[in-house]
Chain A
Amino acid sequence: QQQVKQSPQSLIVQKGGISIINCAYENTAFDYFPWYQQFPGKGPALLIAIRPDVSEKKEGRFTISFNKSAKQFSLHIMDSQPGDSATYFCAAMEGNEKLTFGTGTRLTIIP
């Protein structure tokens, strides 16, 4: 049972464009929603996170949009750069212990 559904599986965006990755969840007890970035050969690293009491969080070029009623959240990368090429995972946490991850999106930024 996949509790966090992520789309698309892969995404190609031109340099300077906006990259958008979407996630949906079922468990209304989830109360923390992080995004992780992973480069080849490395472990995932926390990029940005949001709690459901706000609808948007922005850190630099990265923004999370959160829709509690629709049980959806998305990552927007503005002015996408080749260095942003990586695999991105959304996740959700219930309580303070375990994360449930989406299946990942491989993002490629082309010049």
Chain B
Amino acid sequence: DAGITQSPRHKVTETGTPVTLRCHQTENHRYMYWYRQDPGHGLRLIHYSYGVKDTDKGEVSDGYSVSRSKTEDFLLTLESATSSQTSVYFCAILRLAGRYEQYFGPGTRLTVT
């Protein structure tokens, strides 16, 4: 599992509230990613990080922000949650040994009511 944990694993929140999801890795990988998975859309990149305090936007970044103050933690924040952000969120790291391989965490199911 590449030492990736996500918390919380499940969350129900109300529209308009801020939400922070945490991704934690234990293997000191440089690259970390946040995706959302929705039926019919596959996995879409929200934001990614290529080092401490170095982040960039993905294809669906509106309404999301990220922070990476330590190598091991990558936080995803929904500033003001909306029902369209109900989704399963996956964190991933990029392992560069031998072949490029993104390892995914177990996911967080977020429901915005």
Contact = CB atoms under 8 A, between A and B. Distances in A.
Interface of A: 6, 9, 32, 34, 41-46, 49, 89, 93, 96-104
Contact of B42 (A32, A34, A43, A104): A104
Nearest to A90: B42
Interface of B: 31, 33, 40-45, 48, 50, 58, 90, 92, 94, 96, 99-107
Contacts of B41: 103
B105 A43 contact: yes
B88 to A, nearest CB: 9
A97 B43 contact: no
Contacts, number: 52
15 contacts: A42-B106, A43-B104, A49-B100, A97-B48, A98-B33, A98-B45, A98-B48, A99-B43, A100-B45, A101-B42, A101-B43, A102-B42, A103-B40, A103-B42, A104-B42
Contacts of A96: 94, 96, 100
Contacts of B101: 34, 46, 49
Contacts of B44: 101
